[in-house]
């Protein structure tokens, strides 16, 4: 099996002869269906005693290691070497997790080398030459160490079905790493106070209710950036998360069904669900998510039908769920009975200058004082609009003062197209008096 260049969410370590075509194979399939990128080796890689370079690379590209400790796990020197490598690699790394699964074995047998584990180690001792006894001690320490991690225990005579046990393992995986965070390319400026304000409106600690919060304001003022910052700061408190960006554009180009499919794939994790019409989608959302504590962001909403198709009523989601809606149209929030709202304002002069400086000069701490006047001119022109500040700063990166003056003269005659089009969408949505 070739190892790809990107990382894996989960690495499965197991005794192939014990569980490959049963428990571990089923676990792998469910993990993949839930959208969790999982590495499982092929049978060729487990031949021999030493782990291969390909497996070492896969281990180093993985975040969570599920160790399936089955009856004959310790009889394989390959498995013991793999376990030792995993433990050595993850030692001291806070961004890596180990999750042992005691499959039809007693955790105390693993820890104290009893039962089949004791027998396997005794057999290894007979086969190993005297100068390899150190390796036996390393294996014993590895088994003792892995048994001390918090994991899952399946008893063959217990009251739990195996598929329920697999579901339990799969649902515990996302909590081991925060895979819900959204990438942010820019240093966030002037958001500390707005983030705190929106989080206060969300009241994440109140798990007995479902809250919807609307974020509204002019196009380009930073509604999406604010929603991303809030989302990243609270995502760890929810069972399932989904950030539906560009709702306006996606709805127009691909229909409401596309938005519903994205929501279901992100929150339910069942890749087999495929909504063919929006009425069917609303029914599936209500059935699948009514018991889940969900964090959902609907970004850039411009039609009430979009909200009706995704969350017409708060009781569609489980208690403790939170919905954030960003829109340019405050009246749309009123129409959908969203009581808690926050209006995003333009940046003040200090934050506007900070954002422009970052985009125009990178992260340099000192800017040539000769740029002082032209920077202030650009800040005044942008009127505190983050979009305008980012576009202007990027366009003027590395340019001389004379070039700055020329570009700003041009902007005052004819605005940058991307800024103009963003503002035009907001303008066109106004009634005649507001225009």
Indicate the DSSP class of residue 307: H
Sorted by sequence, the CB contacts under 8 Å of residue 56 that are 6+ apart come out as 85
Given a contact cutoff of 8 angstroms between Cβ atoms, the answer to whether 188 and 352 are in contact is no
Given a contact cutoff of 8 angstroms between Cβ atoms, the answer to whether 33 and 271 are in contact is yes
CA distance 27 to 13: 12
Sorted by sequence, the CB contacts under 8 Å of residue 217 that are 6+ apart come out as 223, 328, 343, 344, 345
73 sits in which H/E element = none
Is residue 410 classed exposed, middle or buried when 0-12, 13-18 and 19+ CB atoms within 10 A define those classes?
Answer: exposed
Is-catalytic flag, 82? yes
Instruction: Compute CA 94 distance to the chain's CA centroid, rounded to the nearest angstrom.
Output: 17
End-to-end CA distance of the chain: 62
What tokens were used for 42?
């092929």
Cα–Cα–Cα angle for 363, 367, 372, nearest 5°? 130
CA distance 163 to 171: 12
Of 44, 82, 303, 405, catalytic: 82
What are the angstrom distances between the C-alpha of 295 and each of 28, 181, 245, 299, 387?
26, 12, 14, 13, 26
Catalytic residues: 82
């Amino acid at each position: 099996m070739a190892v790809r260049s990107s990382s894996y969410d989960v690495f499965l370590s197991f005794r192939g002869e014990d569980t490959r075509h049963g428990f571990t194979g089923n676990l792998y399939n469910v993990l993949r269906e839930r959208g969790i990128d999982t590495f499982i080796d092929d049978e060729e890689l487990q031949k021999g005693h030493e782990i291969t370079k390909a497996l070492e690379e896969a281990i180093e590209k993985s975040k969570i290691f599920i160790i399936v400790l089955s009856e004959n796990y310790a009889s394989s020197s390959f498995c013991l070497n793999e376990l030792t490598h995993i433990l050595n690699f993850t030692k001291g790394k806070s961004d890596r997790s180990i999750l042992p699964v005691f499959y039809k074995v007693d955790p105390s047998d693993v820890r104290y080398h009893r039962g089949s584990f004791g027998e396997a180690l005794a057999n290894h001792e007979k086969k190993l030459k005297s100068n390899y006894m150190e390796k036996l001690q390393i294996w014993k320490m590895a088994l003792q160490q892995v048994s001390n991690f918090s994991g899952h225990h399946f008893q063959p005579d217990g009251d739990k079905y195996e598929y329920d046990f697999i579901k339990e393992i799969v649902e515990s995986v996302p909590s081991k790493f925060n895979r819900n965070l959204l990438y942010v390319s820019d240093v966030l400026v002037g958001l500390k106070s707005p983030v705190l304000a929106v989080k206060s409106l969300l009241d994440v600690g109140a798990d007995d209710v479902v809250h919807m919060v609307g974020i509204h304001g002019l196009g380009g003022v930073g509604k999406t950036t604010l929603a991303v910052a809030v989302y990243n700061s609270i995502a760890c408190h929810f069972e399932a998360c989904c950030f539906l960006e560009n709702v306006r554009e996606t709805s127009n180009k691909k229909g409401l069904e596309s938005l519903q499919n994205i929501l279901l794939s992100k929150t339910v994790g069942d890749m087999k669900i495929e909504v063919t019409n929006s009425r069917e989608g609303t029914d599936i959302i209500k059935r699948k998510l009514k018991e889940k504590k969900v964090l959902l962001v609907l970004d850039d909403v411009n039609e009430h039908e979009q909200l009706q198709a995704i969350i017409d009523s708060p009781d569609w989601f489980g208690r403790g769920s939170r919905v954030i809606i960003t829109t340019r149209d405050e009246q749309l929030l009123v129409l959908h009975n969203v009581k808690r709202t926050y209006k995003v304002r333009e940046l003040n002069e200090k934050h506007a200058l900070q954002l422009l400086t970052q985009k125009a000069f990178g992260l340099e701490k000192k800017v040539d004082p000769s740029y002082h006047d032209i920077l202030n001119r650009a800040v005044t022109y942008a009127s505190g609009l983050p979009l305008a500040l980012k576009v202007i700063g990027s366009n003027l990166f590395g340019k001389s003062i004379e070039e700055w003056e020329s570009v700003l003269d041009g902007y005052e005659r004819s605005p940058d197209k991307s800024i103009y089009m963003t503002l035009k969408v907001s303008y066109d949505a106004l009634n005649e008096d507001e225009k």
